Structure 1
Amino acid sequence: MTASTPGHRSEPTHRLEPGHARRPTIHDVARDAGISKTSVSRYFGHERALLSESMVQRIEAAIERLGFAPDRLASGLRGRRTGLIGMVVADIRNPYTVDMLHGAELACREHGYSLLVCNTDNSDQLERRHLEVLHGYSIEGLVVNTRGRNVASLAARREAGLPMVLVDRHIDGLDCDMVGLDNEQAVTLGVSHLRDQGYQRLLMVTEPTDGISSRKARVEVFRHQAHAAGLSAEVQQSPQERIDPDWLAATLMQWLRAGGRPGAIVCANGVITLAVCHALWALLKTPFEQVGVLGIDELSWCALVGPGITTVAQPVDDIGYGAITTLLNRIRGAPGKAEITTYTARLHARGSTTLKTT
């Protein structure tokens, strides 16, 4: 690992003067940070792991001061169409993300574009780094499906004229198009199905809703529709993004022990559905005979588990495809205010919501 130089000054004195006409270079970043050009090159290449954390911080501070953006394309491409679209996602392992990416890549391919995908792993710092990298590739537009905590970075790029589309989640303070599920229609469809099946007590399980518009919308619609149908409704939010199996088991056991009227669990997305099924199999001998389960998101295994898991399926592939076509319209100069495009969900009724009577 490359170490920092002992006794190095804490405040570099080299600066590009305001209004300086010359584009800042890697050499300028190295001089400002007080390190070698080789180290800066490693930062932008595939050898960042060789740098110490303090060196990475110095480089990032210099980049911000100088307004530096690496141009990874040949100089002949400057000012011309690159055919590149960037996409930043929160968790590439999420089945929703996988299907959405498939639709987006298909749309790019059909329209002669290539898709550059960056996974933030739900890290705000990593998202900022990815945005810098994508900017260096001179992308023509950007698709965003993240936690929405880097509003300033995204807004700056939007104000600079970069076409941008949000997927699934609206971000306050960001004026751009959004493409996603009609959450009101989807959740209403699920609650109505459970009511018609005879369930009277419902529990929704979700990840934290703070800052995630789609999660908030699903919770709000769930409560409203359950109340309107005369059903008991409870919502449990995971204390963290990654579901803790112990927390989930304790939460479900407490709700199950409350007993009484027939109950069903509404899983806010596919990740929750999988976690809930794991927990129920551990807690109950015959889980789907003792409690109903409905998941938002259709996953390939849902038809294979037990009697089959009932799902409210969103057309994720179409959402990804639609996000790209919306972005391409903006790239081509389509005028008008930011718009929201929503897709309707379909119910796949299976045995997990067939109420067992004794």
Structure 2
Amino acid sequence: MPARPSRHATILEVARVADASKTSVSRYFSGERERLSPALQRRISEAARQLGYRPNQMARGLKGGRSRLLGMLVADIRNPYSVAVMHGVEKACRERGFSLLVANTDNDPTQERTHLALFASYRVEGLVVNAAGSPAHELQDLVGQGLPLVLLDRWLEELEADRVGLDNELAVDMAIDHLRAQGYRQLLFLSQPVGLASPRQQRWQRFEQRLAGEPALDGERHDPALDGTAVSAIIEAFLARAGHPAAVLCANGNVTLAATRALQAQGIRLGEVGLLGIDELDWCGLVPPGITTLAQPTEAIGRAAVQQLLARLDDSGTTLPPRRTLFPPTLIARGSTRLPGTDNDQETP
């Protein structure tokens, strides 16, 4: 006869229904599932489901000093990149028996400081930080208290911490190499305001370095606010000066969207003016003839952040040097970088 769900089922009830020991059930819910056989894991999972059992993670933390909670601080949760990386972080947490607390700062340094204090009060065991401002002081205090953290996408040079993200210099190199190979010689690099955001700084600087070292290429760079008509005005002025063949290189998905709208409003055919964006978004393949992008391995980035946190937790006090894990992007070539009238103006097989 199936077990009757109980509102306050206990670990002993789960063990009895699963025909398992209390220790095995405890291991299942504390991130040590790999020590149990697959058959035993299935029995415990089914017993917990029947009984409606949910472990009290806060009570576990108070009793054993482990909350099984990881925190993630996101600069802008509306950004598709942030959502995609967060999905990878959450999946990795779930697989290792951790729960994830997420806080969005809306790129507001004041909110950032507030959320960091809240994470500390919830006794998270580690933090993944996508910084909005420059919270190096607050983060250094947390590191001094023994809290592991990983910087995601945006670096803070004054803070010694693990880092995970895209290889931004490689991304710009791949973009320029592709545009040059496709026949484009005049390049416009568009970014959101660079400010203190390290990925924007790195992409901005690498673009300048490449053009300075390649006489066959010419171009310019701008970092306007994306509201109003600024992007459209910059593209129109650039094309008037540059002539053809010209291309626009967009530093992220938000800029790609703004540039696409501007080119469409000016009646410019994609490909006639090249368009390449860093970050793959769902709609990029839907806008004729398709927008060429550099896709980030967002799930792998999120998983790597969790792996580095857990490596710190398992370090048993040994001091490991900060690690930098950079991932290459993947080029997805579409019609927006096929220059009409050249050998490259061919349909992709």
Sort the TM-score into its range (normalised by shorter chain).
0.7 to 0.9
1:150 maps to what in 2? 135
Q: Say how many residue pairs are matched.
A: 283
Write the distance in 1 (CA, Å) between the matches of 2:58 and 2:331: 46
1:274 maps to what in 2? 257
Write the distance in 2 (CA, Å) between the matches of 1:320 and 1:141: 14
2:283 counterpart SS class: coil
Which amino acid in structure 1 is aligned with residue 260 of structure 2?
A: C
Write the distance in 2 (CA, Å) between the matches of 1:245 and 1:290: 25
Matched, 1:221 2:206: yes
1:55-75, Cα deviation, whole Å (9 max, x unpaired): xxxxxxxxxxxxxxxxx9459
1:61 maps to what in 2? none
Matched, 1:85 2:70: yes
2:304 maps to what in 1? 322
* Aligned residue among 304, 308, 314 for 1:332: 314
Which amino acid in structure 2 is aligned with residue 348 of structure 1?
A: I
2:192 maps to what in 1? 207
Alignment gaps of 5+ in structure 2:
1-56, 343-349
- Large movers: runs of 4+ above 4 Å: 72-76
Alignment gaps of 5+ in structure 1:
1-71
**CA 1:120–1:281: 2 relative to 1, 3 Å:** same
Matched, 1:245 2:231: no
CA contact (8 A) 1:308 1:352 kept: yes
* Aligned residue among 350, 353, 356 for 2:334: 350
Write the distance in 1 (CA, Å) between the matches of 2:206 and 2:60: 51
Write the distance in 2 (CA, Å) between the matches of 1:209 and 1:93: 19
Q: CA deviation at 1:335?
A: 3.3
2:151 maps to what in 1? 166
1:312 maps to what in 2? 294
**CA 1:244–1:261: 2 relative to 1, 3 Å:** same
CA contact (8 A) 1:245 1:275 kept: no
Q: CA deviation at 1:78?
A: 5.5
Write the distance in 2 (CA, Å) between the matches of 1:94 and 1:76: 32
1:287 counterpart SS class: coil
Write the distance in 1 (CA, Å) between the matches of 2:92 and 2:138: 26
Matched, 1:258 2:266: no
Matched, 1:233 2:219: yes
Q: CA deviation at 1:107?
A: 0.5
Superposed counterparts of 1:281-296, under 5 Å:
281-283=264-266, 285-296=267-278
Equivalent pairs: percent with the same residue?
A: 46
For structure 1, which segment, 153-162 or 136-145, has the greater mean C-alpha deviation from structure 2 after superposition? 153-162
**TM-score, reference length from structure 2:** 0.77
CA contact (8 A) 1:227 1:233 kept: no
Which amino acid in structure 2 is aligned with residue 294 of structure 1?
A: L
2:118 maps to what in 1? 133
Q: CA deviation at 1:152?
A: 1.3
Write the distance in 1 (CA, Å) between the matches of 2:269 and 2:330: 25
